[in-house]
Each structure stands twice: as structure tokens, then as C-alpha cells.
Amino acid sequence: MSASLFRHDAGAVVAEHAHPLGQLTVVTAGTMTLFSESGWWLAPPGRGVWVPPDVAHSARHAESSVHIRILLSPDMAAALPNQCQTIAVTNLLRELALEAVRLSAVADQEENATLVARMIGYEASKPTYGPVLFVPQGRDPRLVRVIDRLKSEPGDDATLEDLADLAASSPRTLARLFLSETGMTFGRWREHLRIVSAVDRLVRGQSITQTALELGYLSPNSFTTMFTRILGMPPARYLKEMREGSSS
């Protein structure tokens, strides 16, 4: 195991790469968006992202951020999922991550580091409950063109019929591609895109009203209704609980 603390300026991009070690990133301030072939994950404070060994990935930091990167050997990584996923960072996992950084800078701590690595693996492997801030990515070129368009403009209200021209396919084919390649209907996929975009904006200090309008909602109330339905609580409460968990 090795662990390091990183600080990134707003707008920083980490180019796509892969490594033979498993990577657990614990976000302590700001946000990080991690991209892989499967899609992209948003990790605000209090969340982490797990990347298995040899999985190509890149990252973007929309605002100044701080995170701890823990690299685990394949043996240690074997107990964790074989695909990327976000995890909830408990108080214990956060303290273990900080201890891992300390141990990585001290010589002759191999035994302690191994023990901490096992505890990190155990804590990170616990089931994560609640909604995941993840947007799946398709592979079919027709679907990719549409997803790239909506990813850059999440507030776009284009219908399947409108987007079919961009995909050079029929609306029915495009609907089928969304379901078969992302596991979601087009409507549900767009909701997930907007909720991830919303959390990213809100964490960066954007108002609920501005966020709602930028994401295509007619009013803050309609946005709050959608947000509450998907994440289980209104935006203000979600941000409050996330910040309290991060500060603790």
C-alpha cells in the first residue's frame, strides 16, 4: 500500500491512464469526476471512488479540491469490486486514509501499513446504500454522439425525435440503445445526468435557482421535487448533511 495527499486547482484534468494497482480516492474537499469506459462518477466530499487494477480512467476537478489516493496491491484489491464505483467515506475510513498517508512517509512501518491496508479494504468493501452519482456511457457510436451532446449541455430539452437525427438513427433505435447499453430508459438516463450535474454545481456554491434553470427546469420547485425523489431529500438538506459529514 502507498498513500498520498493531492491538491488540484479548479479545472485540473488528469489524463487517461491505468496501473496494475487498485486505486481508492477519498475526496476531502471540492469534487472529483472520474471517467472510464463505463461512464463517469461524481465524488463530492464524503465520497470516494474505487478503480480496480488495470482499468483505464481519467479525472476532472471542476473546483479546487483535495483528495487522498491510496494504491493497493492486487492481493489487497481482490476483496473489492472488479469495476469502478463510488463508496461512502465513513469517519473510520477517512481516519484510516489519513493514517495511510502518514505511514507512507515513515520508514520501517510495513507491518502497520499492511494492517491499515486490510482495514481500508474491509471498510471500503461494505455495501454502499442510497443513490449513486454515476452516469453510464454507451459504446455504440450513434449513442455516444448523443451522450456527448447531452453531457456538454445537460439542460438541453431535446426529445428522442430531435436527437435521432444526430444519431443518424430512428427514435425507436435510439431508445433501444439507451436501454440496452446503459440499462436505463432515455428519460431515466437524462434524470441521472441532471442530478449528477446538479450536485456538481451546488457543491461549487451555485444557487438552487440558477442550477434549476440551467438544467432545464421551469422552476426551483420542480427541480427540488426531482432532486428529492432521486436522492431522498431536498437540495439544501443534502448539501448540509454532506458538509457536516465532511467537516466531521
Check: CB of residue 163 under 8 Å from CB of residue 126: no
Query: Which CATH number applies to 2-124?
Result: 2.60.120.280
Q: Does residue 131 have a pLDDT over 80?
A: no
Check: CB of residue 43 under 8 Å from CB of residue 27: yes
pLDDT of residue 79: 85
Tell me which amino acid residue 73 is. S
pLDDT of residue 245: 60
231 vs 199: CA distance, rounded Å = 10
The pTM (predicted TM-score) of the whole model is 0.84
Q: How confident is the model at residue 130 (pLDDT cuts 50, 70, 90)?
A: low
pLDDT of residue 26: 93
DSSP summary character for residue 112: H
DSSP summary character for residue 128: P
Percentage of the chain lying above the pLDDT 70 cut: 96
Q: Which residues of 70-103 are buried (b: 16+ CB within 10 A; e: fewer)?
A: bbbeeebbeebeeebbbbbbeeebbebbebbbeb
Domain 137-247 architecture? Orthogonal Bundle (1.10)
Q: Does residue 247 have a pLDDT over 70?
A: no
Q: Does residue 116 have a pLDDT over 60?
A: yes
The burial class, CB within 10 Å (0-12 / 13-18 / 19+), for 14 is middle
198 vs 208: CA distance, rounded Å = 9
Domain boundaries, the chain: 2-124, 137-247
Place of cell 482499468: 55
pLDDT digits (tens, 9 = 90+) for 139-157: 999 999 999 999 999 999 9
Q: Which three cell numbers stand for residue 11?
A: 479545472
User: Beta strands 57-60 and 22-29: pairing type?
Assistant: unpaired
Q: Does residue 248 have a pLDDT over 60?
A: no
Place of cell 476537478: 61
pLDDT of residue 108: 80
pLDDT digits (tens, 9 = 90+) for 62-82: 888 899 999 999 988 988 988
- End-to-end Cα distance, the chain: 25
Closest CA to 31 of 58, 67, 4: 67
Compute the mean pLDDT over every residue in the chain, rounded to the nearest whole number.
Answer: 90
18 vs 15: CA distance, rounded Å = 10
CA Rg value for the chain = 19
pLDDT digits (tens, 9 = 90+) for 225-244: 999 998 889 999 988 887 76
